[in-house]
């Protein structure tokens, strides 16, 4: 299954590489590529620079579309060409996973309207302004509504991605991956002590 990871300036490092580490453990099942609106190198304040392909190279969606958060989302929610591209890709993709404030980008597309979703608790009040018709659930580590998986802040993206593996490959596979990366997986999506 192809995985497209959206990047933009000032993306949050763990929002990206936590889920990428987890999906990457099943290398026969997931092929991961990084994308941005125009392609080229994308950087964040942690000094991480990644080469990306242009979103326009995706013509009919992908298996998994991963949208991270980070401070860059504050300006990207106003980037109309990006929001249009996110909407088109998300509509055609089999699954859409958002981490942290990345949910604001997806909410801006309207695709989360009347669906359940969550996001980073520190930025919660800001994110919800980007989707007035979304059924925002504050006390949730992550939420699944149809093909949309949305998570709380940063490390919650790893819990959500393990849950995604559980849904597609079974609980034993998800627990095995968590064990391989020596990660204590919060298996209960309602166990959100940051709320």
66 close to 3: Cβ distance less than 8 angstroms: yes
End-to-end CA distance of the chain: 33
* pLDDT of 97 above 90: yes
30 close to 110: Cβ distance less than 8 angstroms: no
Rounded CA-CA distance 8/55 in Å is 11
Per DSSP, helices labelled H in 25-123 are 73-76, 80-92, 102-109
Binned at pLDDT 50, 70 and 90, residue 154 comes out as confident
Rounded CA-CA distance 26/18 in Å is 14
36 close to 175: Cβ distance less than 8 angstroms: no
170 close to 143: Cβ distance less than 8 angstroms: no
The mean predicted confidence, pLDDT, of the chain is 97
Binned at pLDDT 50, 70 and 90, residue 194 comes out as confident
- Looking at residue 184, its pLDDT comes to 96
The percent of residues in the chain predicted with pLDDT above 70, rounded, is 100
Q: How buried is residue 71: exposed, middle or buried, by Cβ count under 10 Å (0-12/13-18/19+)?
A: middle
The percent of residues in the chain predicted with pLDDT above 90, rounded, is 94
- Looking at residue 123, its pLDDT comes to 95
Binned at pLDDT 50, 70 and 90, residue 69 comes out as very high
Could you tell me which residues come within 8 angstroms of residue 26 by beta carbon, excluding any fewer than 6 positions away? 165, 169, 173, 177
Residue 119 burial (CB count, 10 A): 35
Topology at the third CATH level for domain 2-180: Rossmann fold (3.40.50)
- Looking at residue 60, its pLDDT comes to 86
Binned at pLDDT 50, 70 and 90, residue 129 comes out as very high
67 close to 105: Cβ distance less than 8 angstroms: yes
Binned at pLDDT 50, 70 and 90, residue 193 comes out as confident
* pLDDT of 98 above 90: yes
- Looking at residue 20, its pLDDT comes to 98
- Looking at residue 146, its pLDDT comes to 98
Written in H, E and C, the secondary structure of 40-54 is EEEECCCCCEEEEEE
Average pLDDT over residues 176-195: 94
């Amino acid at each position: 299954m192809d995985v497209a990871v959206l990047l933009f300036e000032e993306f949050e490092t763990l929002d990206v590489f936590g889920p990428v580490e987890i999906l990457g453990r099943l290398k026969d099942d997931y092929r991961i590529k990084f994308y941005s609106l125009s392609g080229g190198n994308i950087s964040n304040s942690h000094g991480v620079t990644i080469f990306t392909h242009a979103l326009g190279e995706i013509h009919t969606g992908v298996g998994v579309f991963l949208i991270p958060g980070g401070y860059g989302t504050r300006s990207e929610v106003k980037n109309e060409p990006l929001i249009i591209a996110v909407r088109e890709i998300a509509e055609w993709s089999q699954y859409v996973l958002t981490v942290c404030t990345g949910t604001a980008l997806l909410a801006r597309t309207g695709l989360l309207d009347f669906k359940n979703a969550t996001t980073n608790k520190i930025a919660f009040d800001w994110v919800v302004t980007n989707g007035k018709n979304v059924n925002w659930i504050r006390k949730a580590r992550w939420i699944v509504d149809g093909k949309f998986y949305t998570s709380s802040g940063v490390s919650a993206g790893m819990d959500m991605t393990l849950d995604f593996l559980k849904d597609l490959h079974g609980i034993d596979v998800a627990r095995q991956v968590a064990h391989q990366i020596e990660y204590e997986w919060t298996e209960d999506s309602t166990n959100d002590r940051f709320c």
